[in-house]
């Protein structure tokens, strides 16, 4: 079977790890920052050397294309090149670099193909500098209002519009990905969780992106002096919150074992050791691929009484997303190809969001996951062994060629 | 029986409520602030008008004295005149104003007494501008190092020393309260809790100040992505904290019903709704007059396992104080006098700290509590009906005269 080149892939990973290098094993490569622009320049230089044609759209998404039959839509690979603050060398960029390696393999091995083949960089996936995340894939698929996005500011007060205009990568609206011009997207990404490594799986066959709900809970009690208020008089909002978190754990643990839920954020007011808290808030994030399970979570939330430990309890939805299912035929290609290479596979749904979940609304899309060592991600310790990156690239190559043949 | 004057007491409360008036029913009268200096000026003016002699010591504590037999030590009444930010018109200042009203009654009614009688204002009881609380009673009783206190800074970087020197109230070390010069202290204070009002009690007969312990608990887990980490892999520090707070409630509720305990402060790291918390801290404040009950609390704390929900659990003492017992004979005077006036009484220990708890180490001391409406304190809603203030003043007057006779 056709395969990518290990040394070349290593060189790509090493080279790009310099752009935004924190000196501690990771990178800070916020969207459209000088470090991100260096990475874009290197990407374009390498694509041009392979004879690829480069276009950018009005959101600075980069499309680098190996020509094919000009009457056929292109097949896309790729991901994002920006990172969170003190992030790792794999999240996003590995999808770009394996895409580039597949392109290099196709060009240097002169592998025949009918469709044009494009490697894409989506602008500002992380939302770490300009909120929200997945901004540019969101704009071109109609999820976000472009004017609102252009007004998004970083911590220094620079708008996304200003950063876009200064970047040199802002192109034409006509260059946006459309179903007429593009046939498919295959996005390779690191798992960002521990399952593949723990179960010794080479390739995560990603069936979709889990639906999720995010709720904020509020408990209103009475702030009183810790030393003067007998227990029976108290309306302790923190204890009401504790009781409710325990209730949520007890009930949610009875649901399907694939459900993940998290109380990640908590705040207490006035948060003084000698004052009984009068206002406590916490969040619940819950994810599962089956909307029925998400509904069960909702029922459990709705069963919280209006009064908990004499405190007023309330909750409201902060945000949610429905489960996204990728193109089943492409999902099958990924699985078949991985197995033909002799790689172990596991079908799974992505917990985190990815550009692919927006793109799939417009064109047939799928994803390939490779293991994250110890599940670390969004940190400098993020790591995927080269061998696993190469396996992912090989499956990506074969899947793109399968789509091309269809 | 001799009694204080209701209209005069009302005038004092109304007049002093102007100094630092927030316009919302309360005051902000931080220690040695312009508002606090206005209150001191008014106090001194009124004391001089009564023929009292005014001295200040090196911590700006004010001692205003009705002369008596110069060979006898003085009997003190009083409290503090500073407030917290957006505090009320009763905490501290009511002890000063009832003392002043008692002095005015003694002077105007020409009540015979042998000992000199002093009204005191202790500087910086609240510690709201310069930490710690009870600073000046602490310095003159050897609890705090004066040089360290002088270096204490407010949020604008002004040291306590600078504020002291600028105040015009810094006097001589020789003027400090000593057991040779002072025979007793009786401090009237608002309860700052709901018990007296709720049980329809006029006078709290304060036997002492509760011992307390304050512990900080830490739970160290693993920060992972909320969407990628199956429940079984998690080390959720917030859930470990929740389990432990529930354990503490379950166990501490089995102890004596007079025990009060509070988890007032909690923090989670990184405190992001999509990240499993890796570090959670909370505090436990526990108070009871019986050291044996405090020991039982300690045993419950020590029984927390080293590992809770796969997270590393640890705790350390932030601070503590032993129970303070007031002078039993003076405590009896307060109770007897209240009953002779026909007032309802309840023996109790103070939960919060007061200057009196330091002073009692040096000279015989006791306290008188009057009810706080709904237990509100350290807020603008703090209120004690005039009738209750007057009852307190009457008991204070009689108690000082009892001590004088002894």
pLDDT of the residue at B211: 96
**A160-185 pLDDT tens trace:** 999 999 999 999 999 999 999 999 99
Average pLDDT over residues A356-378: 96
Residues A316, A333: one domain? Answer: no
B283 contacts on A by Cβ (under 8 Å): 273
Nearest Cα of chain A lies from the Cα of B110 at a distance, in angstroms, of 38
The total of structural domains in chain A comes to 2
The answer to whether residue A244 sits within a structural domain is: yes
Residues A246, A357: one domain? Answer: no
pLDDT of the residue at A390: 98
Residues B40, B164: one domain? Answer: yes
pLDDT of the residue at B224: 87
Average pLDDT over residues B47-63: 98
Is the pLDDT at B1 greater than 90? The verdict is no
Average pLDDT over residues A110-122: 98
**A202-253 pLDDT tens trace:** 999 999 999 999 999 999 999 988 999 999 999 999 999 999 999 999 999 9
Average pLDDT over residues B107-115: 98
pLDDT of the residue at A224: 87
Q: Which residue among A266, A353, A378 places its CB closest to the CB of B268?
A: A266
The answer to whether residue A1 sits within a structural domain is: no
Q: Which residue range(s) make up the domain with B218?
A: 211-321
**B184-235 pLDDT tens trace:** 999 999 999 999 999 999 999 999 999 999 999 999 999 988 999 999 999 9
Residues A303, A334: one domain? Answer: no
The domain that contains A145 carries what CATH number? 3.40.630.10
Contact B242/A at CB under 8 A: yes
The domain that contains B231 carries what CATH number? 3.30.70.360
Residues B150, B246: one domain? Answer: no
B253 contacts on A by Cβ (under 8 Å): 231
pLDDT of the residue at B56: 98
A266 contacts on B by Cβ (under 8 Å): 238, 266, 268, 271
Q: Which of B288, B306, B321 is the last residue of a domain?
A: B321
Residues A327, A389: one domain? Answer: yes
pLDDT of the residue at A182: 98
Q: How confident is the model at residue A338 (pLDDT cuts 50, 70, 90)?
A: very high
Q: Which of B263, B296, B321 is the last residue of a domain?
A: B321
Q: Which residue among A231, A264, A273 places its CB closest to the CB of B265?
A: A273
Contact B352/A at CB under 8 A: yes
**A28-62 pLDDT tens trace:** 999 999 999 999 999 999 999 999 999 999 999 99
Q: Where are the alpha helices (DSSP H) in A233-325?
A: 237-252, 291-302
pLDDT of the residue at B88: 96
Contact B256/A at CB under 8 A: no
| Average pLDDT, rounded, for chain A | 97
Residues B38, B141: one domain? Answer: yes
Residues B259, B184: one domain? Answer: no
Is the pLDDT at A113 greater than 90? The verdict is yes
Contact B212/A at CB under 8 A: yes
**B318-327 pLDDT tens trace:** 989 999 999 9
The residues near B88 (Cβ < 8 Å, ≥ 6 apart) are B25, B26, B27, B376, B377, B378, B379, B380, B381, B382, B383
| Average pLDDT, rounded, for chain B | 97
Q: How confident is the model at residue A85 (pLDDT cuts 50, 70, 90)?
A: very high
Dig out the tokens for B92 from the structure. 């501290």
pLDDT of the residue at A1: 84
| Residue B58 annotated as binding site | no
Q: Which residue among B194, B272, B277 places its CB closest to the CB of A233?
A: B194
**B77-93 pLDDT tens trace:** 999 999 999 999 999 99
Residues B149, B21: one domain? Answer: yes
Residues A291, A379: one domain? Answer: no
Q: Is B225 within 8 Å of A375 when comparing Cβ atoms?
A: yes
The answer to whether residue B1 sits within a structural domain is: no
Contact B316/A at CB under 8 A: no
Average pLDDT over residues A283-306: 97
Residues A27, A162: one domain? Answer: yes
pLDDT of the residue at A304: 98
The answer to whether residue B396 sits within a structural domain is: yes
Complex ipTM: 0.87
Nearest Cα of chain A lies from the Cα of B214 at a distance, in angstroms, of 8
Residues A17, A166: one domain? Answer: yes
Is the pLDDT at B42 greater than 90? The verdict is yes
Q: Which of B302, B321, B340 is the last residue of a domain?
A: B321
**B319-367 pLDDT tens trace:** 899 999 999 999 999 999 999 999 999 999 999 999 999 999 999 999 9
Nearest CA in chain A to B217: A273
């Amino acid at each position: 079977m056709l395969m990518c080149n290990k040394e070349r892939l290593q060189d790509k990973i090493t080279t790009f790890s310099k752009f935004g290098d924190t000196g501690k094993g990771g990178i800070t490569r916020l969207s459209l920052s000088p470090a991100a622009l260096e990475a874009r320049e290197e990407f374009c230089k390498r694509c041009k050397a392979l004879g690829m044609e480069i276009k950018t759209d009005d959101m600075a998404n980069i499309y680098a294309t190996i020509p094919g039959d000009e009457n056929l839509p292109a097949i896309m690979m790729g991901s994002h090149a920006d990172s969170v603050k003190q992030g790792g060398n794999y999240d996003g960029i590995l999808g770009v670099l394996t895409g580039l390696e597949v392109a290099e393999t196709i060009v240097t091995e002169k592998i025949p193909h009918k469709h044009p083949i494009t490697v894409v960089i989506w602008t500002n996936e992380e939302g770490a500098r300009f909120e929200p995340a997945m901004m540019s894939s969101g704009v071109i698929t109609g999820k976000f209002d472009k004017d609102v996005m252009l007004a998004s500011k970083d911590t220094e007060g620079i708008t996304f519009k200003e950063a876009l205009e200064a970047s040199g990568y802002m192109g034409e609206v006509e260059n946006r990905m459309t179903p007429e011009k593009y046939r498919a997207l295959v996005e390779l990404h690191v798992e960002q969780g521990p399952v593949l490594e723990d179960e010794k799986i080479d390739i995560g066959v990603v069936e979709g992106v889990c639906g999720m709900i995010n709720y904020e809970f509020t408990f209103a009690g009475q702030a009183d002096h810790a030393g003067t208020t007998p227990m029976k008089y108290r309306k302790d909002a923190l204890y009401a919150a504790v009781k409710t978190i325990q209730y949520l754990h007890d009930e949610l643990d009875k649901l399907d074992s694939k459900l993940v839920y998290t109380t990640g954020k908590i705040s207490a007011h006035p948060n003084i050791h000698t004052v009984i808290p009068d206002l406590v808030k916490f969040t619940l994030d819950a994810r599962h691929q089956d909307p029925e399970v998400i509904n069960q979570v909702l029922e459990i939330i709705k069963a919280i009484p209006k009064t908990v430990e004499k405190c007023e309890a309330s909750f409201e939805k902060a945000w949610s997303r429905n489960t996204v299912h990728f193109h089943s035929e492409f999902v099958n290609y990924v699985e078949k190809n991985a197995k033909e290479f002799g790689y172990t596979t596991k079908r799974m749904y992505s917990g985190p969001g990815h550009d692919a979940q927006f793109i799939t609304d417009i064109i047939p899309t799928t994803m390939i996951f490779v293991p994250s060592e110890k599940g670390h991600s969004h940190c400098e310790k993020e790591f995927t062994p080269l061998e696993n990156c190469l396996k992912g690239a090989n499956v990506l190559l074969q899947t793109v060629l399968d789509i091309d043949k269809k």
